[in-house]
């Protein structure tokens, strides 16, 4: 593994452990030349799943694209990278465990929004505004009103159960 600091090719593994989801191995390494430490992740190579876009184009599934969208939606919110990584892994697992060769971008977006809604409503609305391509204020308000209604229902259910 090439050192990201000095480019040297030889490093030693200091620590190795599975990630929380168990879908990859996290390894702490130390460069044999400069002595600096860095982290790598080892994942199982999976079959290519094609994503069917809204315009019917197809492209290979990319968990990295999901992560970029999550990071953008979660900017300036109290959400850790650990939480973002967990959502990314959960969605990636759902896509690959479906056993399907093709997966619609709509289903992927819905999975992401479902997880964001549980984590942070502001991040959810940010993601939904880009994903659903709100064209005017009224469509944006419709989504906010749905969220408020769901919150009221949840609060009522919690009060009834208490």
pLDDT value of position 146: 86
CB atoms near residue 124 (< 10 Å): 21
E strand or H helix at 11, and its extent? strand 11-18
pLDDT in tens, the chain (162 residues): 899 999 999 999 999 999 877 778 999 999 999 999 999 999 877 788 999 998 999 999 999 999 999 999 999 999 999 999 999 999 999 999 898 999 999 999 999 999 999 999 899 989 988 887 777 788 778 888 888 888 888 888 888 887
Q: Is 76 exposed, middle or buried (0-12, 13-18, 19+ CB in 10 A)?
A: exposed
Neighbours of 146 (CB within 10 A): 11
């Amino acid at each position: 593994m090439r050192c990201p600091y000095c480019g040297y090719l030889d490093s030693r593994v200091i620590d190795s452990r599975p990630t929380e989801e168990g879908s990859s191995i996290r390894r702490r390494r130390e460069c044999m030349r400069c002595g600096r430490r860095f982290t790598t992740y080892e994942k199982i190579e999976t079959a290519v799943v094609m994503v069917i876009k809204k315009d019917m184009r197809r492209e290979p599934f990319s968990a990295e694209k999901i992560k970029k969208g999550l990071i953008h939606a979660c900017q300036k919110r109290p959400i850790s990278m650990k939480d973002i990584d967990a959502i990314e892994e959960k969605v990636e697992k759902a896509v690959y465990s479906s056993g399907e060769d093709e997966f619609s971008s709509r289903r992927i977006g819905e999975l992401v929004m479902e997880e964001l809604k549980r984590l942070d409503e502001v991040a959810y609305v940010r993601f939904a505004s880009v994903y659903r391509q709100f064209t005017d204020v009224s469509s944006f308000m419709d989504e906010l009103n749905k969220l408020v209604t769901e919150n009221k229902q949840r609060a009522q259910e919690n009060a009834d159960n208490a």
